[in-house]
């Protein structure tokens, strides 16, 4: 009996580009589109699909299809995609695009024309959608008598449609620190009470019981904090600390026009199990 060994490798590129690490590849640009628009307005732009072919490569034309999805970021920092028009603040119904299906050839850039029409009664703030581009499943050819690796690419260009008066209002709601097998995990909870995305920058320092710095991370770029949402994304410092009491200071600038905010929390590293014990409640200080 002959067995077809098919290894299906699903590669999803969120903001990116290459369907293959080297050689032939497909790129989608721009990967992120941010447009400030007014209710009742319309605009058109182009998303380009670049099918790159390595010199002397054997890349062949591919049939691709485009579709719309809603998308969001979960509180623990995972990017998720949803059926179009199912999420609050979806912009999918505002978008038309062409072509929906085409054949791409190596060495050429193929354009997808996107038109966004904002309804006259659209609420102020960010509205989200994503243009998904992927290969048609029926274009994948299988050799039933050979061992194969099939690469199926799926890429997204994510859209922020920013309507009317935009409000950005960030706050640091909580700060936790604990010891993990790989080092110190510091997890802030960042909250956005506004109607438009925040892109904060942050830094942190860890001090011993005498107030001496023992570890730091000077430049942290958390994921975006979407409108009316919160994000708890951990930062790992690969540092082993001796037993003792430590203080973490986490400073975040929400880029919302307000001053940077600093949160403080303590933890203990024990000799027995190297696990932290919170000594006090978080002490946020502006």
* Mean pLDDT over the full length of the chain: 84
pLDDT per position as a tens digit, 100-143: 998 888 888 999 999 999 999 999 999 999 999 988 766 555 55
**Angle CA 157–158–159, to nearest 5:** 120
60 pLDDT band, cuts 50/70/90, is: confident
pLDDT of res. 265: 97
pLDDT per position as a tens digit, 151-173: 567 899 999 999 999 999 999 99
Q: pTM above 0.85?
A: no
In this structure, are residues 73 and 226 in contact, taking their beta carbons and an 8 Å threshold?
yes
88 pLDDT band, cuts 50/70/90, is: very high
**Which residues sit opposite 118 in a β-bridge?**
none
Share of the chain above pLDDT 90, in %: 66
Q: Please check the confidence at residue 270 and state whether its pLDDT lies above 80.
A: yes
Pairwise pLDDT comparison (208 vs 55), residue with the higher score = 208
Return d(Cα 69, Cα 51) in angstroms, integer: 23
**Which residues sit opposite 258 in a β-bridge?**
none
Q: Which of 204, 209, 196 is nearest to 221 (CA)?
A: 204
């Amino acid at each position: 009996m002959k067995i077809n060994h098919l290894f299906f490798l699903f590669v999803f590129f969120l903001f990116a580009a290459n369907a293959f690490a080297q050689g032939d590849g497909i790129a989608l640009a721009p990967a992120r589109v941010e447009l400030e628009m007014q209710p009742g307005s319309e605009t058109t732009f182009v998303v380009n699909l670049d099918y790159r072919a390595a010199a002397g490569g054997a890349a062949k034309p591919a049939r691709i299809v485009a579709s719309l999805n809603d998308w969001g970021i979960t509180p623990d920092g995972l990017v998720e995609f949803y059926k179009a028009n199912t999420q609050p603040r979806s912009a999918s119904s505002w978008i038309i695009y062409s072509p929906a299906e085409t054949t791409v050839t190596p060495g050429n850039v193929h354009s997808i024309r996107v038109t966004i029409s904002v309804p006259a009664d659209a609420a102020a703030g960010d509205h989200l959608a994503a243009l998904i581009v992927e290969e048609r499943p029926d274009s994948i050819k299988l050799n039933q008598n050979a061992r194969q690796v099939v690469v199926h690419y799926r890429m997204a260009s994510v859209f922020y449609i920013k309507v009317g008066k935009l409000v950005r209002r960030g706050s640091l709601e909580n700060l936790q620190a604990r010891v993990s097998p790989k080092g110190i995990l510091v997890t802030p909870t960042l909250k956005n009470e506004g109607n438009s995305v925040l892109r904060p920058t942050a830094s942190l320092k860890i001090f011993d019981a005498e107030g001496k710095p023992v570890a730091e991370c000077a430049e942290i770029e958390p994921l975006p904090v979407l409108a009316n949402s919160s994000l708890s994304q951990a930062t790992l410092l690969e540092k082993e600390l001796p037993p003792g009491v430590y203080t973490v200071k986490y400073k975040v600038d929400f880029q919302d026009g307000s001053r940077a905010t600093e949160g403080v929390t303590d933890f203990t590293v024990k000799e027995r199990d190297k696990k932290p014990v919170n000594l006090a409640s978080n002490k946020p200080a502006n």
